[in-house]
Structure 1
Amino acid sequence: MDLSSKSIRLRLIEESDAEFVLRLRLDENYNKYLSSVVADIDAQRSWIRSYKFDEAAGNQYYFIIERLDGTRCGTVRIYDIRENSFSWGSWILNEDKTRYSAIESAFLIYEFGFDHLGFEKCHFDVRKENTKVISFHEKMGAYRTSETDMDILFEITPKIVRASKKQLPAKLFA
């Protein structure tokens, strides 16, 4: 499975990524809207080992985002898999990201969920205070379905994602 775009690729997480992930998750520049983690490298390795059983069972997929030169620059995860829908999150991009890594990684995660896994839609939530990410998703065509005290709930379909991609310059994906 090749999940690559013009400047980045997604690859499944490995135990050797534990330190990188923990650094990202503990960095206050990136973790404001994510669930907290314990600052323990052994706990992170253990979590990845346990996660690999979920991956093998098709229950969730945790990716490392890396530039095409192999430099790790982020994470993204598919989880909360339902009969016809998946959710994604744990989306972090650090200072090593490429100019278009946000849009490229979003399209790659949709490609994986819709084309490789065959889901009909994607559901996800974004913290209300995370206005930049809310704006990003709405510009892609995601629509609000509900909200909680803390989150705005969204959905998006393959048709909307394809239409959104067509509106962007082809050079982004060449």
Structure 2
Amino acid sequence: MILTSKTVKMRLVEESDAEFIVGLRVDEKYNKHLSAVTGDVEAQVNWIRRYKADEADKLQFYFIIERLDGTRCGTVRIYDIVGDSFCWGSWILNEEKTKYAALESAFLVYEFGFEELKLSKSHFDVRKENEKVISFHKKMGAVKTGETDLDELFEISKNSVLETKQRLSSKLL
């Protein structure tokens, strides 16, 4: 399965992506707002093997984000599918990303959740100190639904995403 936008595409993760993922997750430029990992590539391979069972059961989906030329530039995961909503996270984009990779990959996530999974909304959390990502989600139409000690909690509807996509279509087409 490959989801494609103007300058990036997303494909499901494979065991051969383990070293790339670990490289992103242990890099201090990208991991400030993520849960810690050991940096063990073999542990990541084992995690991917276990994850593939969840993928087959449609419980979660882990994508590699690539430029159209195949250069890997990030990751994103869809999980915690409950009722008519899905959560997404593990969203990392490195310096190889395209100018609009964040916007394009977010819309691809929503396209997958709303069109492929037939869900009507998304819920997610963002670390409170991650102001740039909080601002991004609010501009996309997300609404704050609560908070924890660490995170702000958000929800976004399919209609809000469609309205934002229409408004930003000149950047996406």
Q: TM-score range by the shorter chain?
A: over 0.9
Match of 2:22 in 1: 22
Matches within 5 A, 1:65-84: 65-84=65-84
Q: Which secondary structure does the structure 2 equivalent of 1:81 belong to?
A: strand
Matches within 5 A, 1:1-174: 1-170=1-170, 172-174=171-173
Structure 2's unaligned 5+ residue stretches are: none
Question: Contact (CA 8 Å) 2:2, 2:12: kept in 1 or not?
Answer: no
The whole-number CA distance in structure 2 between the counterparts of 1:65 and 1:158 is 22
Between the two proteins, the alignment pairs up a number of residues equal to 173
TM superposition outliers: structure 1 runs of 4+ over 6 Å = none
The whole-number CA distance in structure 2 between the counterparts of 1:113 and 1:31 is 25
CA RMSD of aligned residues (A): 0.8
Structure 1's unaligned 5+ residue stretches are: none
Q: Between the two proteins, what is the percent identity of the paired residues?
A: 64
Q: Which secondary structure does the structure 2 equivalent of 1:33 belong to?
A: coil
Q: CA offset at residue 50 of structure 1?
A: 0.5
The whole-number CA distance in structure 1 between the counterparts of 2:172 and 2:89 is 22
The whole-number CA distance in structure 1 between the counterparts of 2:5 and 2:86 is 21
- Show CA shifts across 1:13-35 (max 9, x none): 00000000000000000001111
Distance 1:78 1:104, change over 3 A: same
Q: CA offset at residue 2 of structure 1?
A: 4.0
- TM-score, normalization by structure 2: 0.98
More strand by share: 2
The whole-number CA distance in structure 1 between the counterparts of 2:169 and 2:118 is 26
